[in-house]
Chains A and B, each alone.
Chain A
């Protein structure tokens, strides 16, 4: 069956071992995590995981429900690319002498909207944000023309195209409905 890239957004309490609890659920079904990004969310004390996997709709639905079921998980969602604004960031380290030997780099910088993070006599660090294909394209071009000393790409971060962070409403709802103070 055709597999699609799904982006999972998981909100959790910030407790020890949470990542393990999530990855176990992928492991059981033999699913590879393509990208992973974890950070504190807009709500204090709550962490947000953004995970991408290739899967069928049927499997991703079940996996997200099984993640959501874990006690320390506040909410798990999944989306396809068309429902999201998403971004990755990549850093490229290049030998300064080879870069200078190439001559002008203005075209390169304009073409890829590159930011230069550091420049010294030994190396230059480029930064590029974009979708996977875009950061990959720059990597390919640099590899072929100048050579890349080091390359690193982050996991995806994503935001939905709907207005509010969905968790805020949900938390309020839970607190009023179930929370006995």
Chain B
């Protein structure tokens, strides 16, 4: 797409995005980015621009889009407050390794550093929470910077990149010549697979009597779901998943033993401290997974497969690191490991599954009390979609319950804010997920608190007719904080009680269909009504006010100290 006549920086910028395959942008115009929006006006056949109602919404939507599609999410916003509004989503994408390019407008280069109107030091603010942040001050840099931004965002361990685009560079006329970026000498995104590491790890696995695998998002990011399955099946290795590793294995896969961590399943947590070889695959030993590190898997030899060398030994001392993409390393490991059965070891998970079912799960998904529980709503919605939907969550009890009770048959079916734990993530992330996977059903669960943090995005859903299915699990409390207050702060419910608006009336004002359910006998019909078509829908379910998420490993406790209630 080389041009013969000079074009504006703004047009060069849009053409650069097209070269990178961008067809969807989440954005919000404003003064310092107006030339780019003006150029965008001529490209409406190539680019679908979604006007969100707040820049934070644009970033989470781009995250949702990226997580389900594997493509780079793109945000386009103006300078100053728009850039600061985008910070939460940028930080979230950094924590959860989501490929995203955020373009912020900036005052003209001549005004930089002078406290000009809507000027803020975007590069300075975003450097700690991006893979790369760069300020484009002249139009000649545009093609180079965009190419580099997309290469960095999507390669290796993905993450967010910020391009701060000075207004003068948007106006300047240049000759446009685009070359994609494939190499940066100071950046090696994928470490080469080292055969010695594979041999050492395979030797540990082949000696193991009780191997146990932990599956993280690295498997999904590497598109290594098939390699994972082949690896686990050949070695007959039971596996559990982290929050972001959800859906890398289908729920009914026989070696899938469940969810790890603070509100995970009993078996996987206890077995972490019983296994003899722990195989961590594309996960980073977050504190919500490990609990007290000094009492975490001390008996086991630890193998850590990761693409990022700085994760090795960061939290847990590793006996056998294996660097590379999960796709390559799992395939190489599978070749080297022996076929094994480990049937007694696999069988030993059953006792814990039964105990957890009896003490926790049964009550949650088939309650005998009058009040509706979160778990039963989530399980019913999951089943009503044949477990084929994409789950998007907000943060808190709704998120942990959804992670526990939603079932999966397909990968890339779970979008949640894991590392940063951003309340308000749900609605905009669900919009992005639906746009990124329009053929799939997207079910978003939020609490009454988080829903109101980005509630204005209902306007975006209305305008674009984004067919997301939103479910508020309404307990009139900031539920997770309330749970901690009950357990650790002597039931002193300091500012967690919420008086809520009529959510259905709000949805109606945005011309979004909805139903409110308080009685169990109306739940199935309401879910069926929600899923009857591909239009946006709000289902408000009034659930028990003081529900608790169990099991739970309290902060600072060992994974062995998991509480059942």
Contact = CB atoms under 8 A, between A and B. Distances in A.
B184 A62 contact: no
Interface string B126-152: 011001110100000000000000001
Contact of B186 (A62, A65, A74, A177): A74
Interface residues of B, number: 22
30 contacts: A12-B186, A13-B186, A17-B123, A17-B124, A17-B127, A17-B133, A20-B124, A20-B127, A21-B127, A24-B127, A28-B128, A61-B313, A62-B310, A65-B310, A68-B310, A69-B309, A69-B310, A71-B131, A71-B186, A72-B132, A72-B187, A73-B186, A171-B185, A174-B185, A174-B188, A175-B185, A178-B183, A179-B185, A180-B182, A180-B183
Contacts, number: 48
Interface in A113-164: none
B82 to A, nearest CB: 21
B314 interface: yes
Contacts of B185: 74, 171, 174-175, 179
A20 B135 CA distance: 14
B544 interface: no
Contacts of A28: 128
Contact of A179 (B131, B132, B183, B313): B183
Given A66-B310, A178-B183, A180-B183, A71 B188 contact: no
Nearest to B187: A71
Interface in B156-215: 182-188, 192
Interface residues of A, number: 25
A12 B184 CA distance: 12
Contacts of B131: 71
Contacts of B314: 62
A65 to B, nearest CB: 4
A22 B184 CA distance: 19
Given A61-B313, A178-B188, A180-B182, A24 B128 contact: yes
Interface string A64-86: 01101101111000000000000
A28 B129 CA distance: 12
B286 interface: no
A1 interface: no
B356 interface: no
Nearest to A25: B128
A140 to B, nearest CB: 40
Contacts of B127: 17, 20-21, 24
A179 B188 CA distance: 10
Interface in A42-77: 61-62, 65-66, 68-69, 71-74
B308 interface: yes
A16 interface: yes
Contacts of B123: 16-17
